[in-house]
Amino acid sequence: MPQVTSSDGTPIGYDQLSQDGPVVVLVSGGLDDGTENIPLGEDLARRFSVITYRRRGRGDSGDRQPYAVQREVDDLGAVINATGGRAHLFGASSGGALALEAAAAGLPVDRIAVHEVPYLIGDAMLAAWQAYRSDLAAALDSDDRDEALRLFMRLAGSAEEEIAGAEATPMWPKLRALAPTLRYDAACLGDGGPPAERLAQVRQPVLLTTGVTIDPHSAGLPVDFFGAAADAAAACLPRARRETIKVPGHVPDPNVLGPLLTSFYTA
């Protein structure tokens, strides 16, 4: 697998799914080692040169400390530089927050699409976010990765029986390996709400998509959670476009989202 070296010396692994057309870099969200976006990437590969990469601390990418969001921005910049010098971006979940931060920081990106960025709206949700960040830090500082994963799943709206079921699956050890990166995703979301001043600096066109309703695995969240978050973020962006995909799912159906992104990136 090819790698690039970020500005702090961290190796970042990536894959190029196709080599024809404008470059689109896919930015993964929480507890994703870079594979979750591959079906969407394969759909886009018919028209674009698609790049997926492993964010630091995931898969074959390094994890030099101390962590800072700017280092993740630099990682993405290194991937873009190695694969053409400019790119459209797609960011899933907290990866969407990172994509928007990268655009605000001035990376050479054109159009940006984000799906269900989990910004927190309202005093109750913001208070829950602050409690989560504190509890997550305590769990990871004591290397209690199981508790870190439980905290994340509770925040994401999973029921206790669903969490217990997940712990009994073969996937749990893989999630435990990624648990330290939950701190990185939390940092990308900052104080929790849409960062109005940073979003105002994003001058590129931005497409914000959400499912028609929440994913069944997030039944504990308000039914309009992602829609409200996207609407609030769109209000801060100078060139925002909002779309609702007529199917549920925090991991979007590539057969539905792919054509929408193709149209957006070629507009």
Taking only the tens place, the pLDDT of each residue in 71-103 is 999 999 999 999 999 999 999 999 999 999 999
For the cut 80, the answer to whether the pLDDT of residue 177 exceeds it is yes
Which tops the pLDDT comparison, 214 or 122? Answer: 122
Mean pLDDT of 167-196: 98
Task: Tell me the C-alpha distance between 66 and 240, whole Å.
Answer: 33
Q: What percent of the chain stands above pLDDT 90?
A: 93
What is the b/e burial string over 132-170, where b = at least 16 CB atoms within 10 angstroms of the residue's CB? bbebbeebbeeeebebbbbbbbbbbbbeeeebeebeeee
Number of H-type helices and E-type strands within the chain: 11, 8
| pLDDT band for position 40 (cuts 50, 70, 90) | very high
For the cut 90, the answer to whether the pLDDT of residue 9 exceeds it is yes
Task: Tell me the C-alpha distance between 24 and 134, whole Å.
Answer: 35
Task: Tell me the C-alpha distance between 41 and 18, whole Å.
Answer: 9
Query: What's the gap between Cα 258 and its chain centre?
Result: 17
Mean pLDDT of 245-259: 88
- Minimal CA–CA distance to 95: which of 61, 62, 125, 55? 55
CA of 240: how far to CAs of 88, 116, 233, 259, in Å? 15, 14, 9, 18
| pLDDT band for position 252 (cuts 50, 70, 90) | confident
Read off the pLDDT of residues 139-166 as tens digits, 9 standing for 90 and up.
999 999 999 999 999 999 999 999 999 9
Domain locations along the chain: 3-121+186-265
Mean pLDDT of 193-214: 96
Q: In this predicted structure, what is the pLDDT of residue 267?
A: 93
Mean pLDDT of 169-183: 97
For the cut 80, the answer to whether the pLDDT of residue 249 exceeds it is no
Q: Which CATH class is domain 3-121+186-265?
A: alpha beta
